[in-house]
Structure 1
Amino acid sequence: MEVGVLVPGGAQERTAIPVLKDQAPASAGAQRVLIVDDDARLRDLLCTVLTPLDCDIVQAGSGEEALTVLLERQVAVIVLDINMPGMDGFETAQLIRDVDELASTPIIFLTGQAEAGDLHRGYDLGAVDFLVKPVGRQVFYAKVKALLELDQSFARLRSEAAKLHEEQMQAARAAEIRQRDELAITRRREKLTNIFAEASIDLPSLERTIVTELSQMFDAECVLRLPTPDHGWHESLSHNESRGALELLQALMAGTDAETVARAANYDTVMVEELTARSQRFGVVCIGRADGPRFTETEAALFRGASAAAALAISNATLYRVQAEYAAVMQATGDAILAVDVSGVIRSCNKAAVSLFSTGPDTDALLGRSICDLAVDAERGRMQEQLDDALTTRQEVSLEMTLAAHDGRHVEVMITLSPIGDSVDLLVAVVVHDLTEIKHAQTEIRHLASHDPLTDLANRRQLTDRLATLARDRTTAADLVALVYVDVNHFKAVNDTYGHDTGDELLLAVATRLRSAVDEDTLVCRIGGDEFVVVLEDVPSSAAAVASGDRILELVQGQPVHCGSAVLQPSISMGISCLGATAHTPEELLTQADMAMFEAKKNQSQVCVLYTDAIGSRQQGKVNLRTEVVEAIARSDLRIVYQPIVNCETNTTFGVEALLRWRVGGVEIPAGEIVALAEDAGQAARLGRWVLTRSFTDYASLGRDDLKLHVNVSPEQVVDCTFLEHLFSTTRDSSIAADNVCLELTERAFYGDPKPAHIALRSARDHGFSLAMDDFGVEYASLTNLMHVPVNWLKIDRSFIADVLDNERTQRLVHSQIAVAECMQVGLIAEGVESRRQADWLRDAGCVLQQGFLYSHPLEVTDLGGYLDSVE
Structure 2
Amino acid sequence: MATESQQTVLVVDDDARLRELLCTVLTPLDCELVQAGSGEEALTALLQRKVAVIVLDINMPGMGGFETAQLIREADELASTPIIFLTGQADDGDLDRGYDLGAVDFLLKPVSAAVLYAKVKALLELDRSFARLRSEAANLHEQQMQAARSAETRQREELALTRRRARLAAIFTEGSLDLASLEKTIVTELSQMFGAECLLRLPIADNDWHDSFSHTEADRTSQQPQTWLVEHLVGRSRDVTPHGSVLVDELTARGEHVGYLCVGRTDGRAFSEVEAVLFRGVSAAAALALANATLYRVQAEYAAVMQATADAILAVDASGAIRSCNKAATALFSGHSDTLIGRSIVELAVDADRDRLREQLDVTLAMHQEVSLEMAFAANARRSVDVLITLSPIGDSADLHVAVVVHDLTEIKQAQLVISHLASHDPLTDLSNRRQLNERLAELARQKERGKLAALLYMDVNRFKSVNDTYGHDTGDELLVEVAQRLRAAAGSDAQVCRIGGDEFIVLLEDVPSMSVAVAAGNRILQLVQEEPVRCKNVTLRPSLSMGISGLGASAHTPEELLSQADLAMFESKKNRLDECVLYTDLIGSRHKGKVDLRAEVAGAIARSEFRMAYQPIVNSSTGALFGLEALVRWRVGDEEVPAEEIISLAETAGQTGPLSRWILARSFEDYASLGRSDLKLHVNLSPDHVLEAGFVDDLIGAQRDNRILPENICLELAELTFYGDPVAARLALRQARSIGFNLAIDDFGIDHASMTNLLHVPVDWLKIDRTFVAQVHEDQRVQRLVRSQIALAACMQVDLIAEGVENQKQADWLLEAGCVLQQGFSYAHPIEATDLAAEVKNWATFRTNQGTGEG
TM-score normalised by L of structure 2 = 0.59
Helix, strand or coil at the partner of 2:764: coil
Helix, strand or coil at the partner of 2:694: helix
**Paired residue for 2:661, among 678, 691, 699?**
691
Answering whether residue 352 of structure 2 is matched by residue 382 of structure 1, we say no
Answering whether residue 553 of structure 2 is matched by residue 580 of structure 1, we say yes
- CA drift at 1:366: 1.8
Query: Counterpart of 2:68?
Result: none
- CA drift at 1:463: 2.0
Map Cα deviations across residues 586-620 of structure 1 (whole Å, 9 max, x no partner). 22122223333444454555665433222221233
Correspondences of 1:399-410 after superposition (within 5 Å): 399-410=373-384
- CA drift at 1:387: 4.1
Helix, strand or coil at the partner of 1:577: strand
Query: Counterpart of 2:332?
Result: 356
- Tell me how far apart the structure 1 counterparts of residues 582 and 597 of structure 2 sit (CA, whole Å): 23
Answering whether residue 405 of structure 2 is matched by residue 435 of structure 1, we say no
Answering whether residue 340 of structure 2 is matched by residue 371 of structure 1, we say no
AA paired with 2:718? L
Answering whether residue 436 of structure 2 is matched by residue 462 of structure 1, we say yes
Contact 2:665 2:703 survives alignment (8 Å): no
Helix, strand or coil at the partner of 1:292: coil
Contact 1:688 1:713 survives alignment (8 Å): no
Helix, strand or coil at the partner of 1:415: strand
- Tell me how far apart the structure 1 counterparts of residues 829 and 810 of structure 2 sit (CA, whole Å): 13
Query: Counterpart of 2:198?
Result: 222
Helix, strand or coil at the partner of 1:367: coil
Structure-2 change in CA distance of 1:661 and 1:512 (3 Å): same
- CA drift at 1:288: 6.0
AA paired with 2:409? L
- Greater CA deviation, 686-695 or 251-260? 251-260
- Tell me how far apart the structure 2 counterparts of residues 837 and 253 of structure 1 sit (CA, whole Å): 116
**Paired residue for 1:206, among 182, 188, 203?**
182
- CA drift at 1:654: 8.6
Answering whether residue 602 of structure 2 is matched by residue 615 of structure 1, we say no
AA paired with 1:365? T
Query: Counterpart of 2:447?
Result: 473
Structure-2 change in CA distance of 1:798 and 1:340 (3 Å): same
Structure-2 change in CA distance of 1:676 and 1:397 (3 Å): farther
- CA drift at 1:349: 1.3
Contact 1:222 1:288 survives alignment (8 Å): yes
Query: Counterpart of 1:340?
Result: 316
Correspondences of 1:178-577 after superposition (within 5 Å): 201-212=177-188, 215=191, 220-222=196-198, 237-239=213-215, 241-242=217-218, 244=220, 248=224, 289-292=265-268, 317=293, 320-321=296-297, 323-341=299-317, 343-358=319-334, 361=336, 363-387=337-361, 397-419=371-393, 421=395, 428-453=402-427, 455-476=429-450, 478-487=451-460, 515=488, 520-546=493-519, 548-549=521-522, 560=532, 563=535, 573-577=546-550
- CA drift at 1:660: 4.4
AA paired with 1:726? G
AA paired with 2:457? V
AA paired with 2:550? S
Q: Provide the aligned length of Structure 1 versus Structure 2.
A: 649
Query: Counterpart of 1:726?
Result: 695
- Greater CA deviation, 580-589 or 431-440? 431-440
- Tell me how far apart the structure 1 counterparts of residues 496 and 282 of structure 2 sit (CA, whole Å): 82
Structure-2 change in CA distance of 1:225 and 1:553 (3 Å): same
Structure-2 change in CA distance of 1:508 and 1:694 (3 Å): closer
Helix, strand or coil at the partner of 2:187: helix
- CA drift at 1:376: 1.0
AA paired with 1:469? E
Structure-2 change in CA distance of 1:562 and 1:349 (3 Å): same
Helix, strand or coil at the partner of 1:431: strand
Map Cα deviations across residues 525-568 of structure 1 (whole Å, 9 max, x no partner). 344455443333334444454455556556666x6467579888
Map Cα deviations across residues 194-236 of structure 1 (whole Å, 9 max, x no partner). 99786883234422343247648997423669999xxxx9996
Query: Counterpart of 1:591?
Result: 564
Question: Which of the pair has more CA radius of gyration?
Answer: 1
- Tell me how far apart the structure 2 counterparts of residues 329 and 469 of structure 1 sit (CA, whole Å): 52
Identity of aligned residues (%): 60
Structure-2 change in CA distance of 1:628 and 1:226 (3 Å): farther
Query: Counterpart of 1:793?
Result: 766
- Greater CA deviation, 667-676 or 560-569? 560-569
Aligned-CA RMSD value: 6.1
Correspondences of 1:30-109 after superposition (within 5 Å): none
Helix, strand or coil at the partner of 2:751: coil
- Tell me how far apart the structure 2 counterparts of residues 554 and 195 of structure 1 sit (CA, whole Å): 87
- Tell me how far apart the structure 2 counterparts of residues 788 and 276 of structure 1 sit (CA, whole Å): 89
- Greater CA deviation, 583-592 or 747-756? 747-756
Helix, strand or coil at the partner of 2:419: helix
- Tell me how far apart the structure 1 counterparts of residues 604 and 421 of structure 2 sit (CA, whole Å): 45
**Paired residue for 1:774, among 721, 740, 747?**
747
Query: Counterpart of 2:851?
Result: none
Structure-2 change in CA distance of 1:796 and 1:575 (3 Å): closer
Map Cα deviations across residues 294-327 of structure 1 (whole Å, 9 max, x no partner). 99xxx9xxx9999999899768746644643553
- CA drift at 1:403: 0.3
Structure-2 change in CA distance of 1:814 and 1:239 (3 Å): same
- Tell me how far apart the structure 1 counterparts of residues 561 and 686 of structure 2 sit (CA, whole Å): 37
- CA drift at 1:356: 1.9
Helix, strand or coil at the partner of 2:186: helix
- CA drift at 1:464: 1.6
Structure 2: where are the runs of 5+ without partners? 1-167, 239-243, 845-856
Structure-2 change in CA distance of 1:311 and 1:261 (3 Å): farther
Structure-2 change in CA distance of 1:411 and 1:709 (3 Å): same
Query: Counterpart of 1:178?
Result: none
Structure-2 change in CA distance of 1:664 and 1:395 (3 Å): farther
Contact 1:689 1:726 survives alignment (8 Å): no
